[in-house]
């Protein structure tokens, strides 16, 4: 899995877009590449900010096997990675969650976290409160939990055991002083060195974990900026998802510690999800 390619694309009259190319392979089995674009201005015209397509191919012959909806793949694998991390890092008795952001990924993140913890209440915050209220109504109709739209981000964070953030913010939204003892902070949205979703106080108060060291420590502003200004050192990064899944780090070690997980996205997650979708599709067709 090489580092993904980033390319800036100018958009007349709007914020620059980003083109991402994410390849990964499993020798002798499969290889794939995701082509994704991020157009921040799409929110103003009612379109998703992220569009993506995934091409899965045979690792022995190079022949194409499947063309997969990259947006659906990204949303599901991103939420799954956050939930996997939370299973190691969130308190076992976590009951409340705050979702910061009302984009496509927010529903997937809520559903995924509910799969690993018995969440009873979700507080939903977005810059557009009307949209947050509408999303809350939809989620209440589809999930067996209580979803409440909140106008105050500070109150939403202070009341939550798990805080998940999926935005395109370039300035920190979550302040470290709001985090309560024992809380778990899950940062998903930022994917460039200039994007931030939490401030340096959050970093300094927490035990920091990442999805992949190479990706997060080179691409994610929530990690690169604290590294550059001395708030964080490379040694302060406790572990990545590989370490946690292999049992090489215990994850949460006390009920009072604050845990901080930064996900920047990994092409291996896309490949694993694409292979699963392809195998499931073949099984359904043969059933």
In whole angstroms, what is the distance from residue 260 CA to residue 3 CA? 23
Percent of the chain scoring above 70 in pLDDT: 100
Domain count, the chain: 1
pLDDT confidence bin for 5, thresholds 50/70/90: confident
Residue 162 lies in a domain: yes
Q: What is the mean pLDDT of the segment spanning 248-277?
A: 95
Residue 181 has pLDDT above 80, yes or no: yes
Which carries the bigger pLDDT value, residue 4 or residue 108?
A: 108
pLDDT for res 85? 97
Residue 19 lies in a domain: no
Q: DSSP H helical segments within the chain, as ranges?
A: 70-89, 104-116, 129-142, 153-158, 200-205, 213-219, 221-229, 241-245, 267-286
Within a domain: 244: yes
pLDDT value for 69 = 95
Q: Is residue 11 part of a domain?
A: no
The reported pLDDT for the residue numbered 45 is 86
pLDDT over 80 (residue 99):
yes
Average pLDDT over residues 41-55: 88
d(CA 263, CA 211): 5
| Whether residue 12 has pLDDT greater than 90 | yes
What is the model's pLDDT at position 150? Answer: 97
How far apart (Å, rounded) are the C-alpha atoms in residues 88 and 70? 27
Distances (CA, A) of 253 to 15, 89, 155, 160, 250: 42, 9, 26, 19, 7
- What pLDDT does 285 receive? 86
Q: What is the pLDDT of residue 49?
A: 83
CA–CA gap between residue 252 and residue 91 (Å, rounded) = 8
Least confident range from 32-46, 73-87, 101-115, 190-204: namely 32-46
CATH of the domain at 117: 3.40.50.720
Provide the residue range defining the domain that includes 229: 79-266
Residue 43: what pLDDT? 80
Percent of the chain with pLDDT over 90: 85
Predicted confidence band of residue 40 (pLDDT cuts 50, 70, 90): confident
| 252-259 mean pLDDT | 96
- Crossing angle (nearest 10°) for helices 129-142 and 104-116: 40
Q: What is the pLDDT of residue 25?
A: 97
Q: Is residue 98 part of a domain?
A: yes
Are 69 and 94 in contact, with CB atoms under 8 Å apart? no
Q: How confident is the model at residue 110 (pLDDT cuts 50, 70, 90)?
A: very high
> pLDDT at position 44, please?
84
| Distances from the Cα of 264 to the Cα of 77, 158, 160, 196, 217, angstroms | 12, 25, 23, 12, 9
Q: Is residue 152 part of a domain?
A: yes
User: pTM for the complete prediction?
Assistant: 0.88
Q: Quick one: pLDDT at residue 48?
A: 82
In this predicted structure, the answer to whether residue 287 has a pLDDT above a threshold of 80 is: no
Cβ–Cβ under 8 Å, residues 23 and 36? no
- 50-79 pLDDT per residue, tens: 889 999 999 999 999 999 999 899 999 999
Question: Residue 22 falls within a domain, yes or no?
Answer: no
Q: Residue 47: its pLDDT value, please? A: 86
Examine residue 83 and state whether it is found in any structural domain, yes or no.
Answer: yes
> What rounded mean pLDDT belongs to the chain?
94
């Amino acid at each position: 899995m090489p580092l993904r390619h980033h390319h800036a694309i100018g958009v007349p009259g709007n914020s620059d877009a980003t083109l991402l190319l994410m390849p990964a392979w499993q020798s002798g089995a499969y290889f794939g590449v995701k082509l994704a674009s991020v157009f921040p201005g799409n929110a103003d015209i009612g379109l998703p900010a992220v569009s993506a397509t995934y091409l899965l191919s045979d690792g022995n012959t190079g022949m194409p096997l499947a063309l997969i909806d990259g947006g659906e793949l990204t949303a599901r694998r991103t939420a799954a990675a956050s939930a996997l991390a939370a299973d190691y890092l969130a308190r076992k008795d976590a009951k409340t969650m705050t979702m910061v952001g009302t984009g496509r990924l927010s529903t997937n993140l809520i559903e995924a976290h509910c799969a690993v913890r018995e969440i009873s209440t979700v507080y939903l915050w977005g810059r557009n409160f009307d949209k947050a209220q509408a999303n809350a109504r939809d989620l209440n109709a589809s999930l067996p939990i209580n979803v409440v739209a909140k106008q105050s981000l500070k109150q939403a964070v202070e009341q939550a055991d798990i805080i998940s953030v999926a935005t395109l913010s370039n300035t920190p939204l979550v302040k470290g002083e709001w985090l309560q003892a024992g809380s778990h902070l899950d940062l998903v949205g930022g994917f460039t060195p200039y994007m931030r979703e939490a401030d340096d106080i959050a970093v300094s108060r927490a035990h920091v974990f990442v999805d992949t060291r190479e990706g997060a420590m080179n691409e994610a502003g929530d990690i690169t900026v604290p590294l550059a200004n001395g708030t964080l050192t490379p040694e302060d990064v406790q572990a990545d998802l590989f370490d946690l899944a292999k049992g090489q780090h215990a994850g949460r070690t006390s009920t009072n510690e604050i845990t901080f997980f930064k996900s920047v996205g990994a092409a291996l997650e896309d490949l694993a999800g694409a292979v699963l979708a392809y195998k499931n599709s073949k099984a359904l067709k043969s059933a």
